[in-house]
Structure 1
Amino acid sequence: MNRHLLAAVNVAARHGVAQRLADGSRTLYRRRTDALTTWVAAGRRDDLTGWRAALGPLVRLSLLLAAAAITYRAARTVPWLMWILAGGWTLAAWRAGAREQPPAEAPQDAAREDPTGAAVTLLREVLGDRPAVHLSEVLAHLQKHGQGEGWKVADLRVRLEALGVPVDPRVKVGKVPTRGVRAADLDRHFPAKEMSPSPTEVDAA
């Protein structure tokens, strides 16, 4: 992973955050709508006919409308509740959008392949045959080769998540649990046969 690839990762990260939230919001809306529709429909009783069979869905729909009305009134009475609701939605959308957005397209002069594939290739190289690696070790590897100067682990985490790379908050290597990446998660989200070959040799520091 050379400096051109690092530039591509940075570009993709900046554009990927907004795209991930937008994709996640659409996914979250679709999931919630489907779940509520299924829940309302499940209230119908097959052992009854006519209006009695439809009574269950009507009751459930009424409960949903009542819940929406209560939430609306509470938000108007206590405006700061909107910040909590908005924050909860944003967090849920961020998580839901992790696998929704396509890999960001890097500028032609920044890298010759997609930054997601290159980032995953780098992680596989640092992992070797181990089951997991801490982000601090990945960052140290980058900085050893003159890349990611001034970054903290949080900076690397944000960039990886923006590319759709799964980061686990409690990866235990040795006896220390902290943020890292698991080989099993990479294999599940990015099957090796779909990944591009390793981009280039790492530049010397």
Structure 2
Amino acid sequence: MTPLQRAARRLVTGHRRQTARITGWVSEKGEAKSTASRAAVLAAVGYVLWQTAERSPAVLWLLAAAWVAAAWRAAPKPPPAEPPAGPRASIVQWLTETIGDRPGIHLYELYPTMRLLPGMGHHDDTALREALTTLDIPITRAFTIGDVKGRSGIRLTDLTTPPPSREEQPLSTEKDAGETPCSTTEESPESDSSSVEESVREEAR
């Protein structure tokens, strides 16, 4: 549904609510005498407004604008957007926002950006790449973004493609094109990748 359609639906809903409130006020007490009196008051107000609009047509536009504004306020607010479900959806959303209107992002540029996230400053390239791989983020070797060629990275179009099943993914021990892993013997990629996934998930929310 487009934004215009959502706005139109909200106005229609608000109009119906206002109409229901007015008719409900007329018959609120459920007594014939009270209902007739309130209906007469409503008719009198309508007559006065109509006569005023005939003498000053601009008043009619003001009344219409006031009714539309009241209908907009009377309609229930749309529910907040649901956060992406699952850690992969969270990282995909974060990567999409980070890439912006570019076709993708190279890993040499992505890694420093990931390290700016809370709690991720000490993770090396190996741990960051392991986290992306664990979350089934496709990494393409040696593609071009702007004037930079021959670097591994993530294509924006690949983020909307469902990941292949684990059985279909070939095992690879090759290094990323143009990247140099800098893990140390003191660091464990497996334990690092878990904390990286958690940090990125929290930031994406």
Q: TM-score, normalised by structure 1?
A: 0.36
Structure with higher Rg: it is 2
